[in-house]
Every structure is written in C-alpha cells, then in structure tokens.
Amino acid sequence: MKKGLFEVIKRAFHKEPELHPVEAGLARRWIKQRLVAVFPELRNDPRALDRAYQSLGLSPRPGTKEGEAETVFEMSAPTVS
C-alpha cells in the first residue's frame, strides 16, 4: 500500500522524460513498415506513406502502468475535413 502511494506521488512530480532521437527514429521506421504491410499500395509512394504516417497523430507519453515500456506512443483519431 505504501509503495503504491509513493509511486503515485513520485509520478505526479516527475518530469516527463525526453524521447531519445534514436528511439523516435526507430518508432517512426517500425510504424511506417507496419503501414506498408497493411497498405501495400503505399510501398512505392513515399509521399503517401508520409501523409499516412502524419495522419496517425502519434504522441509519446511515459509508460505509467506496470509492464508498460518507458515510452508509449498513443494514436489520436485523424481529423476529418
């Protein structure tokens, strides 16, 4: 019980860690590979692949739950114009 309370307090005052550029690059590459695997028509169209990646609206956040990675990427719903 005390450990859980201490963790909550620690997280409340802990600054969000900076995302290392290598981790950001690896995440971007992995996500683009998954997009190409799901949508093969993006394979030969780098501009469309970049647009698809940007439309995902990924934002990094620190992992808060037990068993999560230190940095977790959340996807926001794309905006419809």
Residue 78: pLDDT band (50, 70, 90) is low
pLDDT tens-digit series, residues 23-65? 778 888 988 999 999 999 999 999 999 998 888 887 777 777 7
Q: What's the 3-state SS for the chain?
A: CHHHHHHHHHHHHCCCCCCCHHHHHHHHHHHHHHHHHHCHHHCCCHHHHHHHHHHCCEEEEECCCCCCCCEEEEECCCCCC
Residue 77: pLDDT band (50, 70, 90) is low
Report pTM.
0.58
Q: What is the mean pLDDT of residues 73-78?
A: 72
Which pLDDT belongs to residue 21?
80
